[in-house]
Amino acid sequence: MAAQTKPVLHGYFRSSCSWRVRIAFALKGIEFEQVPVNLIKDGGQQLTEQYKALNPMQQVPAVEIDGITLSQSLAVIQYIDETRPGPRLLPGDPKARAQVRMISDLIASGVQPLQNLYVLQKIGAEKLQWAQHFIDRGFQALEPILKQTSGKYCVGDEISMADICLVPQVYNAERFKVDLRQYPTIKRLNKTLLEIEAFKVSHPSQQPDTPADLRA
């Protein structure tokens, strides 16, 4: 019975990690419910004891699925890939699968955490320069990797978890006014992916908790 219940995504419209999960659900054609967790309102709704019970790290997302709660976006993506039909989010070929994981980890571990809300609140006045520095540092590594691995998408010609990680990170780079002209491969891939319906419907401008002034 648990597998027949819609997954519940506790997330925030502009959270990269929440967006990754929304993309994965959309690519797989999985219906899910959203419970907004406003990272700013009331001092941060992720900091409540109620939410801490779902995600002890007090971050988004938290996903209730099949009777368990998962709280890391890549773990959620890999779980639904292993348990749901639809297009594969990790390739069958071991080398391509390793490349997808490498790119995903580079973004999810090496770039995004250094410019998430909690870190930037600690940095204070220098947050823009801080975010730009670490996004540039990550993209300087990512660009040559993607030149080698990409076809139409990040790894070859099939959409994968790497693409799911890339698009939200480029969105963040644009928010922090990073000059993307020096990253032509990243720009090309991002443009291609944003034309795909799963990336459109999951976009931060389209969510139930998106503020009216940020809706597309």
Same domain as 7, residue 54: yes
**Alpha carbons 216 and 24: distance in angstroms, whole number:** 21
Q: What is the pLDDT of residue 4?
A: 63
Q: What is the pLDDT of residue 70?
A: 97
Amino acid at 212: A
Counting the structural domains of the chain, the total is: 2
Same domain as 173, residue 80: no
pLDDT, tens digit, 9 for 90 and up, residues 82-100: 999 999 999 999 999 999 9
> What residues of the chain score a pLDDT lower than 50?
1-2
Is there a domain that residue 40 lies in? yes
Same domain as 80, residue 104: no
Same domain as 164, residue 98: yes
Same domain as 170, residue 115: yes
- Residue 66, classified by CB atoms within 10 Å of its CB into exposed (0-12), middle (13-18) or buried (19+), is middle
In which domain, by residue range, is 76 found?
A: 2-87
pLDDT, tens digit, 9 for 90 and up, residues 4-14: 689 999 999 99
**Alpha carbons 46 and 52: distance in angstroms, whole number:** 7
- For residue 161, give the 3-state DSSP assignment: helix
Q: What is the pLDDT of residue 157?
A: 98
Same domain as 194, residue 107: yes
Identify whether the C-beta of residue 199 lies closer than 8 Å to the C-beta of residue 153.
no
CA distances to 42, 54, 109, 115 from 47, rounded to whole Å, are 9, 11, 22, 19
